[in-house]
Structures are given as structure tokens and as C-alpha cells.
Structure 1
Amino acid sequence: MWENAAPTPPPQHGSPSSGRRRRVSQSDGDYVIWGQLLLSLAFLALVLLAQMMDLPFLPALRTAFREAMMPEQNTFLSENRELSKFTEQAVQTLANTVQKFMPTQSQTATPETAVRQTHAKAQQVPSGAREESYLPSFAICFPLAGRACTETSGYGWRTDPMGGSGSDFHLGNDLAAEEGTAILAAADGVVRCAGVHSSYGRYVRILHANGDETLYAHMQYLFVHTGQRISAGDCLGTVGDTGNATGPHLHFELLHKGIRYDPSEALQNAA
């Protein structure tokens, strides 16, 4: 065995055997480097597979690797076990990277995202509504004089503002404004309805061209009546908090052929 082999005296400087031994040492170093790279790549591939498939054998792989680094392997790997240290560090780095860039759903889901995902799976958009925006083919006026308002609730799913335990699909945009602010017609048309509703309070619904409609709710006063022809910019009434409202604001809806759409883009482009 290697332990019983007679020791070889060190070669003298300048002797022919000295150069040969240096060349052999360099070749052995190359083998060690290539061996480290190949084994590390193979091991890291197994670790990546375990992470991607959520398999619980990563600890077993690491245990098997440590067992492989027994003293008798030093003839190939070196006494400092550089391969073991390198691969162990690479495994830890890879595990941290995978966890960072491939997080689980519970780590990434915000409360708002979770609510929207729940609605998407368990509930559907109400009949007569769509989630996308719609732009009328004609220009519209902003429905509040001087644009003196603040949007307090957008179109779509939201927590019930009336204190309910669940949530609802909001069919328009809420624009908070001072009570008594003039509400203006968004475009030319005919008043289809001007009256009182249990939820809308005092409201006006106007029919425009191409089957488009606008609706104005929670009004303090109504200045128009059903069947009246109006022009863009005409005053329909004033901002109030009638119906189901938590404060003075205009609830504005946009419909196309009886279907409600998100009016946000239309309001942004309004003159």
C-alpha cells in the first residue's frame, strides 16, 4: 500500500527528474480543477431539480456529499477539501437565490392581490358590466365644474364602504367634491331618467350617440327632467350625499349599449 512504500529522496536541483515531477504536479492540479467543476455542476443540477420540484431530498444530498469527502479521497481532492467548501457554499447560494427569485404565492401576495385573486376565482363581474375601459367616439366634458374633486373610489372590486363584511363591484368612479358643486352633462343627449333611487339617491341618466350613456348619482338637487334634451356642459344638478353615500360626491358611470365600463380613461381625456 501507499503507507508501506519506501520514501523517495527529494531530487537535486537541476536534475532531469525535477522537471518531470513539476510537470506531473501541474497535470494533477488540472485534474483537480476539472474534477471540482464537473462534480460541482452535477451536484448543483441535483439541487436545482430539488428546488424546482419541491423535493425534500436536499439535506440527504448534502449528507451524501459530506460522506464522499472521506480522508481516502484526498489522493484526488487535496487535503484542504477545497471542492467540499466550494460546493457547500454554492449550494447555499443557489438555495437562497431560488428562494428569492422563485417565491411562493404566500410570500408575494399582498392583501389587495389576495382579495382580487379570491374574487377572480370565486366571483364573477356582475351581469351588465365589464372590467375593461371604454372610450366614446365623441369628446366628453368633465362632469364637475372646475374639476374641483378627488377620486375616492375607482371602478371594480372594493371593500364595502357602507360597513359590510364583504366587498362589492363598484360600477363607476366616485369623485368627492364640496356639496353644491355643479354637475355638468358630459355630452349632448336626452335625459332617460331623472329621479330618486334607493342606492343612487337623486340621479340622472342620459342617452348619448351610438348607444352610449352616462349616469350621475347622489345628487343634492336635480335641475333636469326625463325626456329633456340637453347639451354638453349643461348643469344637471349639484353634488350631494343622497342614497347610499358616506359623504358628498358624484358617482359617475359610463355605459355602452347597456353595459357598464370603467370610465377612468374617459374622465382622464375629458375636456
Structure 2
Amino acid sequence: MWENAAPVPPPQAGAKVRRPKGSAGTEEDLVLWGQIVLCLLTIAVVLLARLMNWPFLPMLRVTWEKVMQPEQEIFLTENRNLAKFTEQTAEAVAEKVGALLNRAGNTATAETAARTAHGKAEAVPSGARDEAYLPGFSLTFPLAGHSCTETSGYGWRTDPMGGSGSDFHLGNDLAAAQGTAVLAAADGVVRFAGKHSSYGNYVRILHANGDETLYAHLQYLFVHTGQTISAGACLGTVGETGNATGPHLHFELLHKGIRYDPSEALQTAA
């Protein structure tokens, strides 16, 4: 009965050949796997950025949102297909990530190059400012019976712990004998009182207007976290706990979480 059946015409040039469902190697399969790999790589980059605290993570999020919303012409013209969208998405993400990595590398290089053998620099690290700051209220000098004798100031300096190069000193070191009373510079609430690998025994106090003071390398602590204290209250005694080469008080001044040079404020208090 099949002898008289018409032969199947050969496919015309340029015509698409339908493959049976479930056949391997279709464009859709390849695009799907490409998208899966692209998403896994993006997730890996984002997780690594969060783990390493890279500053360009917010920018990467914005970039990903933009490339996932392509021009409408990709889907409204005869050239529309998933492969084109996937290819353009991968190229856009790769280009932006590369640019952000180069920028991050250049920033780190610039900060490193700013250090000199004399402890000076043209730039300051994140979370600090090079200028001085005076709170809107008077301060009590933090060492009982002492004048403002500074042994190490705010800013770049040669690493006192014997490391190579320089480091940025975030406060002022004030000379005092071990056991000298350390006083609160103003009324406030103790945000933290405890131990730190670098600060040793230290106290951080929150004052009015978002101002804070920090007292480090103490021998003993006489206050606790959450305690309300008055200016001149004894926080503890001078020591050399943490990374310290001898007894002294390390004093920091912060405004809204940013560290400033406390020299002028200490001179005024003294």
C-alpha cells in the first residue's frame, strides 16, 4: 500500500529542520546550559565580593539588573533569539566586572603608593578623615593630672610594631605611667568595654550628636557596656595591653562613625 506514497521532499535551503522532542544538541538546550553556567559564575562572583568586602558589590548589582533588561528590539525583530540575549548578557557582565576589578586594583595601588618611609601619605583609608574635628561640647582631658604629651600623632607613620612600611594611626598616643586613671572625655553611654586583639582592653563611648571617643590599651576596665557615665568618670587605668610597645593611652575621636584627628580637641581640653 506504500508503493504509491508520495516521496518526502528534501528540505529547502535555509529552512529549519524540526528535531524530535528530547533530542540533544538543540539551540535551546545549549542556551539553557549557557544561562545556567552564567548564573553560577555570577553567584560565585557576588559571594566572593561579599566575603572579601569588595567595595564594588553595589555597582555589580546595578549592572546585573541593567543587563537583565535588554533593549526591546532584541525580542521584537526577526533576529530575536535566546542565544543573542545570553551572549550580550555575558559580554556586558564580563566587561563591567573587569572594569570594576581594574578600578579596585588601581585604588589599592594608589593607597599603597601614597605611603612613604616617613609615614606621610596623600590619601587616608576608608572610615577616616585627614582633618581635625571639634565636638559641639567641651571635653575633659582623658588623663588625670597630665598635660597633653603626645608620643604618636594621627596619620601615617612608620609601623611601631616592627612591620615593613607604614600604617595609618587612627588616634593620638598620650604618654602616661601604668596605673594612671583614664577619664571619660564627656557625658555618654558606653557602647563597648572589653578586649580587642589590637586595642587590648578598650572603651568606646557614645556622646551627643553622634560623637564618640575611644580609649585603648587599658590595664583594667572599671565600666561595662551599656553603662551611662558622666564626664570625668574613671573608665580604667593606663596599661599596655594589645599591640603596644609600652604604657600609654591611645585616644580616638569619631563623628558619625568617621575618625578625625583629635589633636586640636585634646589641646583644647588640656
Same fold (TM over 0.5): yes
Cα separation, partners in 2 of 1:117 and 1:226, compared to 1, 3 Å: closer
Counterpart code for 1:268: Q
Q: How does 1:150-229 map to 2 (within 5 A)?
A: 150-229=149-228
SS at match of 2:179: coil
Structure 1 residue ranges (4+ consecutive) displaced by more than 6 angstroms after TM superposition? none
Aligned residues with identical type, % of pairs? 82
The letter of the residue matching 1:183 is V
- Residue 200 of structure 2 aligns with an amino acid whose one-letter code is G
Letter paired with 2:135: P
Change in CA separation of 1:171 and 1:193 when aligned onto 2, cut-off 3 Å? same
Cα distance in 2 for partners of 1:166, 1:215 equals: 26
The structure with the greater share of residues assigned to helix is: 1
Taking a change above 3 Å as real, the CA distance of residues 237 and 168 of structure 1, as seen in their structure-2 partners, is same
**Distance in 1 between residues matched to 2:148 and 2:265, nearest whole Å:** 16
Distance change >3 Å, CA 170–CA 117, structure 1 → 2 = closer
Question: What is the CA-CA distance between 1:150 and the residue it aligns to?
Answer: 2.8
Query: Contact between 1:191 and 1:207, CA under 8 Å: does it hold in 2?
Result: yes
Normalised by the size of structure 2, how large is the TM-score? Answer: 0.56
Conserved in 2, the CA contact under 8 Å of 1:149 and 1:177?
Answer: no
1:227, CA displacement in angstroms?
0.2
Partner of 1:141: 140
Report 1:71-82 matches (<5 A): none
Deviation per CA, 1:109-161, whole angstroms, max 9, x where unpaired? xxxx96469732xxx31110000000000000000001156311000000000
Unaligned runs of 5+ in 2: 1-114
Amino acid at match of 2:243: N
Tell me, yes or no, if the aligned pair for 1:155 and 1:171 is still in contact at 8 Å. yes
Q: Work out which of the two has the higher radius of gyration on C-alpha atoms and give 1 or 2.
A: 1
Corresponding position: 1:254 with 2:256: no
Give 5+ residue unaligned stretches, structure 1.
Answer: 1-112
2:55 corresponds to which residue? none
User: Aligned AA for 1:259?
Assistant: I
Structure 1 counterpart of 2:121, one-letter code: H
Question: Which one-letter code corresponds to 1:160 in the other structure?
Answer: D
SS of match in other structure, 1:119: coil
Q: Secondary structure of the residue that 1:220 maps to in structure 2?
A: strand
Shift in Å, 1:167: 0.4
Q: What does residue 6 of structure 1 align with?
A: none
